[in-house]
Amino acid sequence: MLKATIASVLALSTALSLAGCGQKSQEAAKPAATAQSPADSMDRTMPEGVEHPAVNPAAEVDVAGIAKAEGGQTVAEVYGGKDALAGKPVTVRGKVVKLNTGIMGRNWLHVRDGSGAEGTNDLTVTTTSTPLPKVGDTVLVTGTVVLDKDFGMGYQYPVIVEDAEVKIE
């Protein structure tokens, strides 16, 4: 009796699967009325009742009056001299305006010193050093400049300082 029931369920599920596949292949064989890119046909709305995750924006931190590190660079100088600095260590003093911990085995800081314009005033830094600073802390960062780093999933950095030693001042 049990074998017959299992066999019947398997036969029924196979028949339903094949019937569903037949409908899909017929639909796929129909020519498209208009040419659409995959992006055009995507539904970009969140499902009802599901909220988008909150963005963790940079904090409003006063970065006025931050002195350039002795022998170091400003954030704007790192961006401006990025080609010459690629693969080399740099030291930057600034304030932490954003901190994300434990992502891909690293802690991520955004450091600003009041130099630079939009797009060249925020230096992304990765570190595993401890203790970790808090948002608003002044830090001295020493790490290696890396250009055009692509971590995938849209996380691309034209300039990033990696494996940095971070000292809280």
CA pseudo-torsion sign 118, 121, 127, 131: negative
Q: How far is CA 77 from CA 83, 126, 157, in A?
A: 11, 19, 16
- The residue ranges of every structural domain in the chain are 75-168
Nearest to 141 by CA among 127, 131, 130: 127
Confidence of residue 42 (pLDDT cuts 50, 70, 90): very low
Which superfamily does 75-168 belong to?
A: Nucleic acid-binding proteins (2.40.50.140)
Question: pTM for this one?
Answer: 0.65
Please, are residues 142 and 89 in contact by the beta-carbon 8 Å criterion? yes
Confidence of residue 61 (pLDDT cuts 50, 70, 90): confident
| Mean pLDDT (the chain, rounded) | 79
Average pLDDT, integer, range 2-21: 52
- Structural element, H or E, at residue 85: helix 82-85
